[in-house]
Amino acid sequence: MQFWVVQGLNSLALGGLLFLLASGFSLIFGLMRLANLTHGAMFMLGAYIGAGLMRSVDGVSLWVAAIAGGLGVALFGWVLERFILRRLPDNPLGQVLVTLGVAFIIADACLLIWGGDPIPIPAPSYLARPLFVGGFAFPAYRLVVVLIALAAAAGLYVMIERTRLGAMIRAGVDDMQMARAVGIPVSRLFSIVFCLGAGIAGAGGVLAGPILSAYPGLDADMLPLALIVVILGGIGSLMGAFVGSFIIGIIYTFGTALLPDLAYIILFLPMIVVIAFRPQGLFGHVSA
């Protein structure tokens, strides 16, 4: 009983964390058709900015650090989009090279600035205690991560479905040429969406900090997860990223517990099955 309850909550918490990681990736890919391989590094950069800030300035709360991390990485994303990626439309191989190249730079810069040791990001003290759920202890902060992910999903949903910006994004996702033709400022839209995606990754890195900490290699650990979620859920689909995150959370948590020998491959097998039989992902319309 305890196993199922606690692991169930673990699945949700990991799912929430993955959504914070993958939603920005999905957003960027959906509109720009750009596989942003810098995404893991942006997540790590956010975590380090947050950790550095909380460590060097007294009294900075996690929430302030998350906003700072988000803004910092969004700014970085703006520079990357404005000065490099914009020159590479219709050059997917060039995009691969440049996004991986920038990821190398970020990883090495973080090592240079913050050193090789892991830096903890403390949860707010009122969330640092475990909470009792049906008699079982569970970390309060992990439950909050689920709530944050739900709030982020709701916020993104409202933005995409109810706002003018969202309408333009949807138009661009559906048919870029048509969007251009009806006068949507596509290049400005790209900048905004890339910044937004980067910002979510940065803030996500800080918010995941109390669970993961900031450490060298966080980028490489996270990038495949973002890709798996997005591929499984369907590229460019917010709903897909959301459901994909939680499915991966469940598969990983229960898979490693019940089939420990498959721990290494548990994340990749379902993906192979999904792509092989449903190349567009569970919720995608376009083929991957």
Tell me the number of residues near other proteins by CB under 8 A: 82
Q: Which is nearer to other proteins, 115 or 185 (CB)?
A: 115
Binding test (CB under 8 A) with other proteins, winner from 212, 238, 241, 247: 212
Q: Segment 82-101, which members bind other proteins (CB under 8 A)? A: 84, 87-88, 91-94, 96-98, 100-101
Per CB under 8 A, the segment of 68-76, 189-197, 199-207, 275-283 that binds other proteins is 275-283
Compute CA distances 70 → 62, 74, 178, whole Å.
Answer: 12, 6, 32
Binding test (CB under 8 A) with other proteins, winner from 57, 154, 182, 263: 263
Q: How many other CB atoms are found less than 10 A from the CB of residue 29?
A: 24
Binding test (CB under 8 A) with other proteins, winner from 10, 26, 36, 245: 10
Q: Which is nearer to other proteins, 43 or 190 (CB)?
A: 43
Contact between 63 and other proteins per CB under 8 A? no
Q: Segment 138-167, which members bind other proteins (CB under 8 A)? A: 138-139, 141-142
Q: How far is the CB of 65 from other proteins (least distance, A)?
A: 16
Binding test (CB under 8 A) with other proteins, winner from 134, 155, 185, 217: 217
Q: Measured on CA atoms in the order 162, 240, 155, 170, is the torsion positive or negative?
A: negative
Binding test (CB under 8 A) with other proteins, winner from 78, 130, 157, 176: 130
Q: How many other CB atoms are found less than 10 A from the CB of residue 99?
A: 20
Q: Read off the amino acid at residue 178.
A: M
Contact between 134 and other proteins per CB under 8 A? no
Contact between 188 and other proteins per CB under 8 A? no
∠ CA 181-175-279, nearest 5°, is 165
Q: Read off the amino acid at residue 287.
A: S
Nearest to 210 by CA among 27, 7, 5, 20: 20
Binding test (CB under 8 A) with other proteins, winner from 22, 42, 107, 201: 107
Compute CA distances 38 → 74, 182, 210, whole Å.
Answer: 13, 31, 22
Encoded one letter per residue, x for contact with other proteins by CB under 8 A and - for no contact, window 220-259 reads xxx-xx-xx--x---x----------------xx--xx--
Nearest to 91 by CA among 33, 28, 30: 33
- Sort 121 into a burial class: Cβ within 10 Å, 0-12 / 13-18 / 19+: buried
How far apart are the C-alpha atoms of 188 and 192, rounded to whole Å? 6
Q: Which is nearer to other proteins, 58 or 261 (CB)?
A: 261
